[in-house]
Amino acid sequence: MEHKPPRPATFEIDISPKPPKPPGPYDTTTKSGEWLAEAVKLLSLESVPLELSNAFYSKWTEEGRHIRNQVGDDRRLGDLLRHVLPKYGGGDMVLYRGENINRFKVSRIGFGWTPDRRVAEMFGGGHNATLDGGVLLKVNAKAHWILAEPSLHSKSISEQEFVVDPSLLEGIEVLQEYPPSGWPPD
The answer to whether 98 and 116 have CB atoms below 8 angstroms apart is no
Pair (57, 107) in one structural domain:
no
Mean pLDDT over each residue of the chain, to the nearest integer: 88
In a domain, 183, yes or no: no
Beta carbons of 95 and 115 less than 8 angstroms apart? yes
Exposed / middle / buried, residue 140 (Cβ in 10 Å: 0-12, 13-18, 19+): middle
Give the pLDDT mean for 129-153: 91
Last residue in a domain, options 27, 62, 84: 84
In a domain, 131, yes or no: yes
pLDDT in tens, 39-51: 999 999 999 999 9
State whether residue 165 is helix, strand or coil.
coil
Could you give the CA distance from residue 122 to residue 116 in angstroms, rounded to a whole number? 10
Q: Are residues 162 and 139 in the same domain?
A: yes
* Residue 87 near residue 52, CB atoms below 8 Å: no
Look at residue 3 and tell me if it is in a domain. Answer: no
pLDDT in tens, 71-124: 999 999 999 999 999 999 999 999 999 999 999 999 999 999 999 999 999 888
**Looking at residue 152, what is its pLDDT?**
82
Give the count of domains, the chain: 2
Give pLDDT, residue 184: 59
Give residue 20's pLDDT: 66
Residues 136 and 158 in one domain: yes
72 within domain boundaries: yes
Task: Give a yes or no: residue 162 inside a domain.
Answer: yes
Domain extent at residue 109: 93-178
Phi-psi region of 125 (alpha: psi -120 to 50; beta: other; left: phi over 0): alpha
Give the C-alpha separation, 154 to 179, whole Å.
Answer: 26
**In a domain? residue 102:** yes
